[in-house]
Amino acid sequence: EAGVTQFPSHSVIEKGQTVTLRCDPISGHDNLYWYRRVMGKEIKFLLHFVKESKQDESGMPNNRFLAERTGGTYSTLKVQPAELEDSGVYFCASSQDRLGVEQFFGPGTRLTVL
């Protein structure tokens, strides 16, 4: 079974540009999560989808970040316009629609904003 996949693996952009990150969860997983780790800090929660609905977006840093999950399958996270402090590794995770189950993580997308 394929795991969670993320694209691209690495993105280098200039401040002010737009970047879109993609996450494909494990097939059949209704729950999809985005996390971020900025340099030297902990991995922080950004938001949680249940199918196509945003269940919890309390971790989104500001309105430059937009997450979507149209159709309840893959998800995109757009940063527009990107700032230097957005640099970090963005992780996606997914889990089944059962209480207390494990979240499976993708390999992450390393975003560098110059």
Partner 1 sequence: AQRVTQPEKLLSVFKGAPVELKCNYSYSGSPELFWYVQYSRQRLQLLLRHISRESIKGFTADLNKGETSFHLKKPFAQEEDSAMYYCALSEAGGYQKVTFGTGTKLQVIP
CB of 98 to partner 1, least distance (A): 9
Would you give the distance in Å from CA 5 to the centre of its chain? 11
Closest to 13 measured CA to CA, from 108, 60, 81: 81
CB of 47 to partner 1, least distance (A): 8
CB of 27 to partner 1, least distance (A): 17
Binding residues vs partner 1 (CB under 8 A): 3-4, 31, 33, 35, 40-45, 48, 50, 55-56, 58-59, 91, 93, 95, 99-100, 102-108
Q: How many angstroms separate the Cα of 34 from the Cα of each of 14, 68, 86, 114? A: 22, 11, 14, 23
Residue number, 37 or 78, with CB nearest to partner 1: 37
